Amino acid sequence: MPAAKGGSSKGGLTLWLPGLRAWPGEALGEILPRYWGRGRRERLPAANLLDLAARLWNFPAGPLPAAALLAAADGVAVNGRWVIALEAMQIQPRQGQAVVLPMPAETLQVEEMDTLLGAARAHFAGADWEIVGGGPSGRWYVLAQSVPDLQSTPIYAVLGREPLDLMPKGGDAPYWNGIFNELQMLLTAHPVNQRREAEGLEPLRFFWAWGEGRLPDIRPAARWQGLVSPNPWLRALAAWVGVPLLHGLGALPEAELETFWAEAGELLWEWPADWRLEETAPAFAGIVPVLHAAFAAGAAVQLWSGIMSDGMAECVRLRRGDRWRFWRRAAQPGKGAASVGQW
């Protein structure tokens, strides 16, 4: 475990709750509002989670270039180019709408993926940009030297929703949306996908374009000495800036937690559970020993929300003494920013 910078014996924990995106009333349980009421609250504007992540990681203003980070993690030679990710998906009818869903666990064979990618690269060979494959991830990327005027909707905000109103926007959107539509038609007509459909298998023909941007020339100095997260683009970011990936802190024996925090540096723990679900609050109660141990070791603790419906995120900063301030009233994250259940 890396030690804190400057030889300090006290680390810090930032617990990021991106699934906390509104004031969901009783679904919060009792524990989270108790913490939220004891610390110092701050509200911060953020367009989306990528924008908030850029702030957490000291990136230049604007959304995090998730596609370029994922491409670098997949071994793609980005070389300063603008990148947008093409995430394989399916579109299925749900309650009278066509919604975006993840691809099923069963994936295409490597030979099929290579064949489809080769067809796409050959079809667009004359363009001033290129399509490349990301290897085992199954993700494709578009790389360009110039930076288009294009703003996409991140894939996590699209799943389960009707896609038409969420297509990329901006001055260059008509061109790029036309390209993505052309790619879909090319893949739909390809013999690999026609054969798969005939066999009752899911074809690879729909992609969602997202995460556009280019990597900064200078890698920002991250404050973190460790990351806990299941999120692919956060893990790719950690790899790019050289931050070690850690296992879930909740798996540590309680007897070892205080020693852990006495030796740890600044850690970021992303806990992505959706706070609209009834099981989230009891699950959060299970990681409270981690917070108690961090306080006991003198570590500073921060709790960050996701993006509320008013375009703001909330941060609560707590110090060791704050956990004993029982007289402070519990506070609902996002209260006043949205009606109960409005996500």
Q: For the segment 223-246, what is each residue's pLDDT rounded down to a tens digit?
A: 888 899 999 999 999 999 999 988
Tell whether the torsion through CA atoms of 149, 150, 151 and 154 is positive or negative.
negative
Q: For the segment 289-317, what is each residue's pLDDT rounded down to a tens digit?
A: 888 888 888 888 999 999 887 888 999 99
For residues 34-44, give the mean pLDDT: 87
**Residue 125 neighbours by CB under 8 Å, 6+ apart:** none
Q: For the segment 252-264, what is each residue's pLDDT rounded down to a tens digit?
A: 666 666 667 767 7
Residue 6 has pLDDT above 60, yes or no: no
Q: For the segment 143-197, what is each residue's pLDDT rounded down to a tens digit?
A: 999 999 999 999 988 988 999 889 999 999 999 999 999 999 999 999 999 999 9
Distance between CA atoms of 70 and 13, rounded to whole angstroms? 25
Residue 270 has pLDDT above 80, yes or no: yes
Give 9's pLDDT tier (boundaries 50, 70, 90): very low
Consecutive H or E run containing 174: helix 173-189
Give 134's pLDDT tier (boundaries 50, 70, 90): confident
User: 301 by DSSP, 3-state: which?
Assistant: strand
User: What are the sequence ranges of the domains in the chain?
Assistant: 5-62+222-324, 66-213
Q: Which stretches of 28-109 are DSSP H helices?
A: 31-38, 49-56, 66-73
Q: What is the pLDDT, as a whole number, of residue 265?
A: 80
Q: What is the pLDDT, as a whole number, of residue 147?
A: 96
Give percent above pLDDT 70 in the chain: 88
Of the spans 35-39, 82-86, 307-311, which averages the highest pLDDT? 82-86
Q: What is the pLDDT, as a whole number, of residue 252?
A: 63
Would you say 19 and 274 are in contact if contact means Cβ atoms under 8 Å apart? yes
pTM above 0.75, yes or no: yes
Measured CA distances, 113 to 202, 283, 318 (Å):
13, 39, 49
The packing angle between helices 110-123 and 191-198, to 10°, is 140
CATH topology of domain 5-62+222-324: Alkaline Phosphatase, subunit A (3.40.720)
Give one DSSP letter per residue of 322-334, joined into a string. GGG-TTSPP--TT
Name the more confident of 24 and 144.
144
Q: What is the pLDDT, as a whole number, of residue 170?
A: 97
Q: For the segment 325-340, what is each residue's pLDDT rounded down to a tens digit?
A: 666 788 888 775 544 4
Q: Torsion angle of alpha carbons 321, 280, 16, 253, nearest 10°?
A: 60
Name the more confident of 62 and 66.
66
